Amino acid sequence: MTTTRFAPSPTGYIHVGNLRTALMNYLIARKAGGTFILRIDDTDPERSKEEYVDAIKRDLEWLGLHWDRVERQSERLDRYAAAADALRDAGRFYEAFETPVELDLKRKKQLNMGKPPVYDRAALALSDDERAALRAERGQGVWRFKLDHARIEWADGILGDISIDAASVSDPVLIRQDGQVLYTIASVVDDTEMGVTDVVRGSDHVTNTATQIQIIEALGGTAPRFAHHSLLTGPQGEALSKRLGTLALRDLRERGVEPMALLSLMARLGSSDPVELRSDMAELIDGFDIGRFGSAPTKFDEADLFPLTGRYLQGLPLSAVADQIAELGVPDALAEPFWTVTRENIETLHDLQGWWDLCRDGADPVIEDEDRDFVAEAMALLPDAPFDGGTWGAWTAAVKDATGRKGRGLFMPLRKALTGQAHGPDMAALMPLLQVVKAR
């Protein structure tokens, strides 16, 4: 059975970059009728917070990315300890004691000599007595996985055939000096024991994947299928990493972005297929193909979410937004015509407030100097409210007869006087909703 996972760290709110990974893994699982696991990477007790675990679940539920089960790495520490023991027994795990300063000096020396800055495995040459002395002096060391210096190869679902020389990569630290288990081994153990068959993640993990393949094999497991998606940039190709904190899913939700607008964009962004607004998750699942995605950096512009949200809202019936309209105070008798009139002129449901304010309280008129006498004459011809569907046509016809104005010179000044805006709903449909006209 196809099994995928999304493994966020609960150290902050998830953002659009995280969503890309979650969505791809979710769609692969659902398209194959498989299992989607939400795995909380909470092995760092100082940075992991329960409020972020709750927020992650809330964001995924808002989007409709429902998981089949939840796993927590903090509850699996015994499994990682067992894996570490197995690697020690196999001669693939060793303790190293260099300080950060010593490692930095080694890297600089290697670079000056034109060599890759790879850990020199000096710790392997230590005797038992030397290790004991360093442990007494510096405390526990870090534990590194001893890579087999051979080429590591796999067929990547997005990047194609990958081949990395393990000799060009430092032996990865799997357990820190303070005993904290790091992602590299925890993820391997989880993926193997949970039967994960497909792993999609960012292209910044390619080197991690190479080392993890060897760790999986050293533990007797079989590597899953890997695919590494491109990283997001800003609309001009600029680095997006510093802005991801402002692109948290909870912030986009609060700004009125609709789930299907966000999912429709992220399910196609960076692929050879055009972005198309989908009405439901089933359409997204059916149309998803990981092989259609490319390796080039992918431009993301949050502004694209709002027209998509507007288009999604335009297709909704009143029943889907009735609660939001009721919260505005729109009378039940006006709810249907209010939604019919305004839904073509909003980008998010937040925009409804402005239109109801206009209908209920009237708008501050916008009148050009050259139109003041014309508008004054027209307002004298406007009948008293309530208005109906024929009011706009009858009134503008009367104004045309009285002033001789026609076309844009007739309609635009009257629209701006009534609504304070140059654009908006059809005035014949809007007039019955106007309860106050300030331009009188």
Structure confidence by residue, pLDDT tens digits, 200-230? 999 999 999 999 999 999 999 999 999 999 9
Identify the band that residue 367 occupies on the pLDDT scale cut at 50, 70 and 90.
Answer: very high
> 238 exposed, middle or buried (CB, 10 Å; 0-12, 13-18, 19+)?
exposed
How far is C-alpha 424 from the chain's CA centre?
31
The pLDDT value recorded for residue 242 is 66
pLDDT at 440 > cutoff 90 = no
Per the listing, tokens 């609960």 go with: 10
Per-residue pLDDT tens over the stretch 105-147: 999 999 999 988 999 999 999 999 999 999 999 999 999 999 9
Alpha-carbon distances of 107 from 175, 304, 396, rounded to whole Å:
21, 44, 80
**Total Cβ atoms within 10 A of residue 374:** 21
From residue 195, alpha-carbon distances to 4, 26, 68, 266, 400 in Å are: 9, 15, 14, 27, 76
Tracing tokens 């800003």 back to the chain, one arrives at 234
User: Quick one: what percent of the chain has pLDDT higher than 70?
Assistant: 100
Residue 128: what are its φ and ψ, rounded to 5°? -60, -40
Give the contacts of 319 (CB within 8 A, at least 6 positions apart).
Answer: none
Are 179 and 143 within 8 A, CB to CB?
A: no
3-state helix, strand, coil in the chain (%, to 5): 50, 15, 35
299 and 243 Cβ atoms separated by less than 8 Å: no
Q: Which helix (H) or strand (E) holds 101?
A: helix 100-112
For residue range 40-84, list pLDDT tens digits in order. Answer: 999 999 999 999 999 999 999 999 999 999 999 999 999 999 999
Domain 234-313 in CATH 3.40.50.300? The answer is no
State pLDDT tens for residues 234-254: 998 888 876 777 799 999 999
- The reported pTM is 0.92
Distances in whole angstroms, Cα of residue 165 to Cα of each of 41, 157, 211, 220, 233 = 29, 20, 10, 21, 29
H helices of 127-176, in order, are: 128-138
What one-letter code names the amino acid at 16? V
Backbone angle region of 223, left / alpha / beta, with phi > 0 → left and psi within -120 to 50 → alpha: beta
- Name the residue ranges covered by the structural domains of the chain: 234-313, 325-433
Tally of residues, the chain: 440
